[in-house]
A and B are shown apart, each in its own frame.
Chain A
Amino acid sequence: MKFSLSSRSPTSQLPFTFGAPALIWQVLFFYLPLVLIAISGFVKVTETGDILGMTFDHFLFFLRPLYLKVIFSSFLLAFSNTLLCLAIAYPLAYFLAFTGKRYSNLFLFLLIVPFWTNFLLHVYAWFFVLDKDGFLNLLLQNLGLVQNPTSMLNTPFAILIMMVYYYLPYMVLPLYSSLEKMDVRLIEASFDLGATWLQTFRRIMLPLTKRGLKAGFFLVFIPSFGEFAIPELMGGDKQMFVGTVVSDYILGEETGALGAAFTVLALIFMLITAGILYWVIERLIPGKTHG
């Protein structure tokens, strides 16, 4: 099958024809600006806008503990967000694909509904939940778990909960589509041959949903690394993340080049971490990629 299409057959031309508009769009509005930003990070400009030459100063400026810490906290936030999403999304996707199959369309619909309302509305809704006399504190007090209510706004917890809330569907959907393709009888066969739940999960389900898992993992990890709005709105200005620093410098007066340099640094760091994580996932989950 794979090799039966000759290079002249009309179908083999189709992918490029159909892919071209998207490709051109990507090049024009993503790769080209990225290259321009990278270049502007190296360029020394006078106050009047004359180019003086090339420099590494903008990059060296950020090689300080403060900014390395910023990059590290962004990584930590993105990583914990991704793991939390994964932990919540896997059982949910499993439920949608198998147990609740009859209602899976309804559930998927409900999962996507929040995207129809404005992002800021979600944020304000969470304010009400996390505030000192908000819903969550009330609940905890009534359960007797907390005596003195404290505001949970402007804490790392608030940032994380909003991140998980916002990014969860990006994890659920690819996992669901992987699990849905899996034959239930493979799970049954595994039990039948003596495997426990945990063994079946590790040896059968994880390898067979590896593709969906990787897709979900990086769909969540990569954007949450550079996330700007959520830490800004939910975390106050207590802690700086990559997104905050980039926006501060890019929008600041005459600090555009610094912003560009930091963007490039953060990008390089993120690509390296993503690569390492990819490698780790490949090593942790046995079997060739499926589903």
Chain B
Amino acid sequence: MRSVRLVKIKKSFKDGTVIPDVSLNMPAGKFFALLGPSGCGKTTLLRLIAGLEKADSGTIFLGDLDITDWPIHKRPINIVFQNYALFPHLNVFDNVAYSLKLEKLPKSIIKQKVLKILEAFHLENHIYKRVTELSGGQQQRVALARAIVNEPDVLLLDEPLAALDFKLREKMLIELIELQDKLKTTFLYVTHDQFEALTVADQMAIMNHHGEIEQVGTPKEIYEFPISSFVARFVGTTNIINGTLWNIDQEPEIEVSGLGRFKVDLPHKQKKEWMKEGCDAIMSIRPEKIYISKKEVPNFSNSLKGHVQSIVYHGRSTQYNILLKNQTRIQVFEQNEEHFPQEVIDYDHEVNLYWQKENAVILEK
């Protein structure tokens, strides 16, 4: 169990810079997720840590060790590849035993270790099958077993569940969390799927299209207090409303043209350097933070009128798309708490939208 620390890592390929300058700390024994859009360079970062690529500059620390120049096979770091990269000429047992055989451990110990881990992964009935005979989920388990059997300090997972269907993916996510809990190995999980990242991570980092880290924090911090409109948009769904910021030092408000003024809280009640009287700003409100009703409801800091444009029924929640007076649209999610809601909201109804000022986030435009 060791931490991974990247210091000023830079990497370019022939067709351009992939990692402009990244410093990142992945704490020891934690489940760390790196979330970013496709092609943003997150896989490159993972390959740099594994040693499959060499950084142009910067340092990689494993705990206190500088491993920047260590060859791949010397690094106590293993990868679970996106397509699993199982050895097709070897059976399940020999795939998992691969690293142990290289260590030249006694046969009896290898057998004992491999059988133990295969049992833990519910693969005991497939020991001598060829890996090509296994289902996607089973191959995934073999890849995991192969990568942890020699007890690496760090396990890198490169979009490991991308090839699985939704149900299986949910199940594997829970298994991964429990596995990490048991092993206490440092996990780095790279994905473009915010659902996966939010589910597994103790800590996560958001990478933007340019290979820069936008924000690092717990999933909750990142979801509730995104630091930029990129993070707000990329993680979860949100409504972005452009406006002008006023009254910053007393009771801050945002003025939106055609809609009026709304009370807001500054993020963590702190005034940021960019905030000036009358400057442009963005208000981000998550759809589930808005309450929708046709009645007048007291005790909300903000309210707004709109017309229902369309309704999408999701099962556990209903999504309303509302057209505001200034012709912008916003989304609202309501939990479907009852079979027969008291208030029926239908297409083209006029509705009131309510939210508390602390549930909106003010961001730099």
> Contact check: which of B72, B88, B90 meets A192 at CB < 8 Å?
B72
A290 in complex: contacting residue of B51, B71, B89, CB < 8 Å: B89
Is A189 touching B73 in the complex (CB atoms < 8 A)?
A: no
Asked if B102 CB lies within 8 Å of chain A CBs, one says: yes
Within 8 A of A (CB), among B147-168: 147, 150
Q: B85 interface residue, CB < 8 Å from A?
A: yes
With an 8 A cutoff between CB atoms, is B79 at the interface? yes
Contact residues in A for B74 (Cβ distance below 8 Å): 194
Distance in angstroms between the alpha carbons of A182 and B79 in the assembled complex: 19
The answer to whether A189 touches B79, judged by C-beta atoms less than 8 angstroms apart, is yes
- A183-223 vs B, CB cutoff 8 Å, 1 = contact: the mask equals 10110111111111001000110011000000000000000
Q: Does the CB pair B72–A189 fall under 8 Å?
A: no
Residue in A192, A194, A208 whose beta carbon sits within 8 Å of that of B50 in the complex: A192
A287 touches B73 (CB 8 A): no
Minimum C-beta distance from A217 to chain B (A)? 18
- A207 adjacent to B103 (CB under 8 Å): no
A185 and B85 contacting across the interface, CB-CB below 8 Å: yes
Which B residues are CB-close (under 8 A) to A64?
none
Q: In the complex, what's the smallest C-beta–C-beta distance from B146 to chain A, in angstroms?
A: 7
| Contact of B99 with A by CB under 8 A | yes
A8 close to B (CB within 8 Å): no
Residue pair B83, A185 in contact (C-beta under 8 Å): yes
Instruction: Decide yes or no whether A2 CB sits under 8 A from chain B.
Output: no
If the complex has contacts A183-B83, A185-B83, A188-B52, are A194 and B102 also in contact, measured as CB distance less than 8 A?
Answer: yes
Chain A interface, number of residues (Cβ within 8 angstroms) = 21
Verify if B61 is at the interface (C-beta below 8 Å from A).
no
Chain B residue nearest to A203 in the complex (CB): B98
Is B203 among interface residues, defined by CB-CB distance under 8 A?
A: no
Query: What separation, in Å, do the CA atoms of A290 and B91 have in the docked complex?
Result: 13
User: In whole angstroms, how far apart are the Cα atoms of A287 and B131 in the complex?
Assistant: 13
User: Which chain A residues lie closer than 8 Å to B78 at the CB level?
Assistant: 192-193
B residues contacting the other copy or chain, number (CB 8 A): 24
Contact with B along A151-195 (1 / 0, CB 8 A): 000000000000000000000000000000001011011111111
Given contacts A287-B89, A287-B90, A290-B89, contact A193 B81 (CB under 8 A): no
Q: Which residues of the other chain, A, contact B146 by a CB distance below 8 angstroms?
A: 193
The yes or no answer to A283 lying at the interface (CB within 8 A) is: no
Smallest CB-CB separation from A206: which chain B residue? Answer: B89
A190–B52 CB distance below 8 A: no
Interchain CA distance A239-B331 in the complex, whole Å: 90
Tell me the A61-99 residues at the B interface (CB within 8 Å): none
A238 contacts B by Cβ under 8 Å: no
Contact A193/B150 with A188-B52, A287-B90 known, Cβ cut-off 8 Å: yes
Q: Which of the residues A188, A193, A196, A208 comes within 8 Å of B99, measured between beta carbons? A: A193
Given contacts A195-B73, A288-B89, A190 and B81 within 8 Å (CB-CB) = no
Give the CA-CA distance A144 to B121 in the complex, in Å: 65
Contact A199-B50, Cβ < 8 Å, known A183-B85, A288-B89: no
A-contacting residues, B248-281, CB 8 Å: none
Q: Chain B residues with Cβ under 8 A from A208's Cβ?
A: 88-89
- Binary contact track B91-112/A, C-beta < 8 Å → 1, others 0: 0000000110011000000000
Alpha-carbon distance between A196 and B72 when the two chains are bound, in angstroms: 9
Say yes or no: A191-B73 contact (C-beta < 8 A), given A207-B89, A208-B89, A287-B89.
yes
Cβ B81 vs Cβ A185 within 8 A: yes
Kindly list chain B residues whose C-beta atoms are within 8 Å of the C-beta of A288.
89
Max count, chain A CB within 10 A of own CB: residue among B71, B85, B150:
B85
Does B79 lie within 8 Å of A290, measured CB to CB? no
A–B pairs, 10, beta carbons within 8 Å: A183-B85, A186-B88, A189-B81, A189-B85, A191-B71, A191-B72, A193-B73, A194-B102, A196-B73, A286-B89
